C-alpha cells in the first residue's frame, strides 16, 4: 500500500511523467514533451511499475496503451499534481475589480462571433482593467488522437497557452473541467426574398448553389456526407474562410448556406437574411467551456470560467 511506503523515497516527477505518457500514448512523444530521452522515460516507467505493482502501459506497434490500473489512476494523479501546483504556485488573492491580468479564450470562429459581445460586456463591467485575447481555434484536418478533431486545442489548454476554450465536445477526460454552455444546431440561411425561403424540398436544396465556410478551401462539409447517404449531391459555388464573410456574401447573392443557428439569429437583421430549417435532421453539438482542473485552482481562471458560463450559457456539466 502507498501509505505504508516512505514518501521521502518517491520522486513526485514520476507522477508528472505518468500523466504525460497517459496523454500521449507514446513514449517518444512523451519524452519530447518532458525534455527527456525515450530511454529515460522507459527507465522511469520501470520504477513506477515496481512502485505500483502493475505494468501500467503495454507496447503496441503505434505506441503504448494504458492498463485498467493506469486508467484508474488518471484522475487521482491529476488531482495530486493540481494540488501540488496550487501549493507551490502563486497564492495571491484575485480581485477582478482591481486585477490587471490578461486572459486568453479560444473557440471556433462561429462560437467567438456569436458569444464575444455579451462576454466582453460582462467582463468590462465586472473587471474593467482585465485584458483579453480571443483566439480562433480550428479542428485538426483528420481528427487526431484523444479529443478528436479538437485535440490540439486541448493540448493548448494543458500547455497554458489558453485559459478557457469553448468547444463542440460531447465529453472530456478527467483532466479537464467542462461546463455546458448551449446546444448548437444549423439552419439554412439566405437573403430575404430568396426562392427557397419557404421550407425547401430536399431536391431544391441539393440543386441550389451553396456557400461553404472552409478555411482550407476544401469544398466538402458535413452536409455533403448526409446528402451522399441519400444519393444526392450539391454544388459548392463558393467557399469563404470565415462566418462573417459568409453572412456578407449571402446578403448580396442567391447563394444559400448551412450556418449555426445562434450566429444567424443574432445577425440576420443586420445582413438582411432569413433562415429555415434544414431538410435533413442533424443532432445538435453541445458547446462547452473547458479548462484544465489544474488551471481551475487559479482563482483568476476559476473566475473567468464562471464569467463565460454566466455570459454565454446555463453552465450544465
User: What's the whole-number mean pLDDT along residues 208-213?
Assistant: 95
Torsion of CA 305, 308, 311, 313, to 10 degrees: -90
Residue 317 within any structural domain of the chain: no
User: What's the whole-number mean pLDDT along residues 87-114?
Assistant: 85
Q: Do 49 and 12 reside in the same domain of the chain?
A: yes
For 144-194, how does the pLDDT look when each residue is reduced to its tens digit (9 = 90+)?
455 578 989 999 998 888 999 999 998 888 889 999 999 999 999 999 999
CATH number for 83: 1.10.10.10
Beta strands in the chain (DSSP E): 57-60, 63-66, 102-107, 131-136, 164-168, 176-184, 186-191, 209-213, 235-240, 257-260, 273-277, 285-292
Flag whether pLDDT at 93 surpasses 90.
Answer: no
Domain with 155 in it: 102-184+285-312
Flag whether pLDDT at 2 surpasses 50.
Answer: no
Alpha-carbon Rg for the chain, nearest whole angstrom, is 24
Give yes or no for a contact between 27 and 42, defined as CB atoms under 8 angstroms apart: yes
Q: Do 123 and 109 reside in the same domain of the chain?
A: yes
Flag whether pLDDT at 314 surpasses 70.
Answer: no
Q: Do 211 and 154 reside in the same domain of the chain?
A: no
Residue 93 within any structural domain of the chain: no
Q: How far apart are CA 122 and CA 241, in angstroms?
A: 29
Residue 94 within any structural domain of the chain: no
Give yes or no for a contact between 109 and 262, defined as CB atoms under 8 angstroms apart: no
Please say which residue of 40, 64, 88 terminates a domain.
Answer: 88
Q: Do 212 and 238 reside in the same domain of the chain?
A: yes
Give yes or no for a contact between 237 and 209, defined as CB atoms under 8 angstroms apart: yes
User: Which residues are CB-neighbours of 178 under 8 A, at least 6 positions away?
Assistant: 169, 171, 172, 288, 289, 290, 317
For 220-267, how does the pLDDT look when each residue is reduced to its tens digit (9 = 90+)?
888 888 888 888 889 999 999 999 999 999 999 999 999 999 999 999
Amino acid at each position: 500500500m502507498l501509505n505504508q511506503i516512505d514518501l521521502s523515497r518517491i520522486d513526485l516527477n514520476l507522477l508528472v511523467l505518468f500523466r504525460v505518457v497517459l496523454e500521449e500514448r507514446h513514449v517518444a512523444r512523451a519524452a519530447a514533451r518532458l525534455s527527456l530521452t525515450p530511454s529515460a522515460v522507459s527507465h522511469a516507467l520501470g520504477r513506477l511499475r515496481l512502485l505500483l505493482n502493475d505494468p501500467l502501459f503495454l507496447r503496441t506497434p503505434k505506441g503504448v496503451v494504458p492498463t485498467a490500473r493506469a486508467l484508474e489512476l488518471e484522475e487521482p494523479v491529476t488531482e495530486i499534481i493540481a494540488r501540488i501546483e496550487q501549493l507551490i504556485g502563486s497564492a495571491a488573492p484575485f480581485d477582478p475589480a482591481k486585477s490587471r491580468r490578461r486572459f486568453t479564450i479560444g473557440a471556433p470562429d462561429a462560437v467567438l462571433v456569436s458569444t464575444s459581445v455579451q462576454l466582453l460586456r460582462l467582463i468590462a463591467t465586472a473587471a474593467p482593467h482585465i485584458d483579453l485575447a480571443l483566439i480562433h481555434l480550428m479542428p485538426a484536418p483528420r481528427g487526431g488522437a484523444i479529443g478528436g478533431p479538437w485535440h490540439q486545442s486541448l493540448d493548448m489548454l494543458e500547455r497554458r497557452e489558453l485559459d478557457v476554450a469553448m468547444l463542440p465536445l460531447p465529453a472530456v477526460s478527467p483532466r479537464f473541467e467542462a461546463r455546458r454552455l448551449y446546444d448548437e444546431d444549423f439552419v439554412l440561411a439566405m437573403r430575404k426574398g430568396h426562392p427557397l425561403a419557404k421550407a425547401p424540398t430536399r431536391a431544391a436544396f441539393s440543386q441550389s448553389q451553396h456557400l461553404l465556410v472552409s478555411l482550407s478551401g476544401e469544398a466538402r462539409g458535413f452536409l455533403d456526407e448526409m446528402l451522399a447517404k441519400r444519393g444526392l449531391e450539391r454544388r459548392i459555388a463558393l467557399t469563404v474562410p470565415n462566418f462573417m464573410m459568409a453572412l456578407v456574401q449571402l446578403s448580396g447573392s442567391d447563394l444559400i448556406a448551412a450556418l449555426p443557428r445562434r450566429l444567424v439569429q443574432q445577425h440576420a437583421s443586420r445582413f438582411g437574411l432569413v433562415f429555415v430549417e434544414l431538410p435533413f435532421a442533424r443532432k445538435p453539438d453541445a458547446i462547452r467551456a473547458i479548462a484544465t482542473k489544474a488551471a481551475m485552482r487559479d482563482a483568476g481562471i476559476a473566475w473567468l470560467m464562471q464569467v463565460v458560463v454566466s455570459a454565454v450559457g446555463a453552465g450544465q456539466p
